[in-house]
Amino acid sequence: MCRWAAYIGEPIFLDEVVSRPGHSLIRQSQSAAEAKTATNGDGFGLAWYDRRPEPGLYRDVYPAWSDPNLRSLAEQVCSGLFLAHVRASTGSAISRNNCHPFVVGRWSFMHNGQVGGFEAFRKRADMLVPDHLYGFRKGATDSEVLFLLALAEGLEENAPGALARAAGKLAGLSRDHGEGPHLRLSAAFSDGQALWAARGSCDSISPTVYYRWSETRKGWAVVSEPLEMGEADWTPLCPGKIARFEGDQMALYDLPL
């Protein structure tokens, strides 16, 4: 299972999330505390927003802890909205195209979780993606299909509904052709204006998501695991919910799965 972290607020250097905290995302790539596997070494990625509508994107297949370019980039890039991810493959190949975040236009998306038995129905899942979006299908992961289906379902107009419908289609394929657990999901995504985070599952086990407002930084951090061990002021996102963060405001919506 993967680990991820996102931030929206006043601009900060990426290393304030990626590498500097005691339980930073790079530390989590080696020693995650709330995942099935402690090691998440099958690639990493960053998507960040600055002066253009489309995000910058940097992804590679190396373990996050061993790539000096990642640390250098995180120390120099300053952004008010970014997504970062370290990957533990659940079956698909270790390749740059399978690393998160995924980007289409101004949208970026990253995911932790699984669609049960995806390899058994991957072709069927791909066929659900409409032609005008299928050209963006570069890798082989269930996460990328989920993103493209959410876009097709109207992510821009109604993010909670679009994500729920997309997830429901994949869970339905898993029930018919795959295996349990049919869907476990935590995800973060953005259009460059707001940051969304979702958590849910088809069973009783949902991947962790936490969020916290920093009065010092004037921003929200949304993470798979708290960035410092033992900190008590992180709020867990409830299963079956999706949160929208913009400015100093946070709104919660239902995510029926």
User: What are the pLDDT digits (tens) for 112-162?
Assistant: 999 999 999 999 999 999 999 999 999 999 999 999 999 999 999 999 999
CA distance 24 to 220: 15
Predicted pLDDT at 249: 97
What sign has the CA pseudo-torsion 107, 113, 116, 118? positive
Average pLDDT, the chain: 96
Predicted pLDDT at 232: 80
For residue range 226-252, list pLDDT tens digits in order: 999 877 899 999 999 999 999 999 999
pLDDT band at 190 (very low <50, low <70, confident <90, very high): very high
Alpha carbon 96 to chain centroid, angstroms: 16
Q: What is the mean pLDDT of residues 92-102?
A: 93
Coil, helix or strand at residue 9: strand
Predicted pLDDT at 256: 87
pLDDT band at 92 (very low <50, low <70, confident <90, very high): confident
Given a cut of 80, whether residue 58 has pLDDT beyond it is yes
For residue range 12-23, list pLDDT tens digits in order: 999 999 999 999
Q: What is the mean pLDDT of residues 23-51?
A: 93
CA distance 211 to 80: 16
Predicted pLDDT at 24: 96
Predicted pLDDT at 251: 98
For residue range 194-235, list pLDDT tens digits in order: 999 999 999 999 999 999 999 999 999 999 999 998 778 999
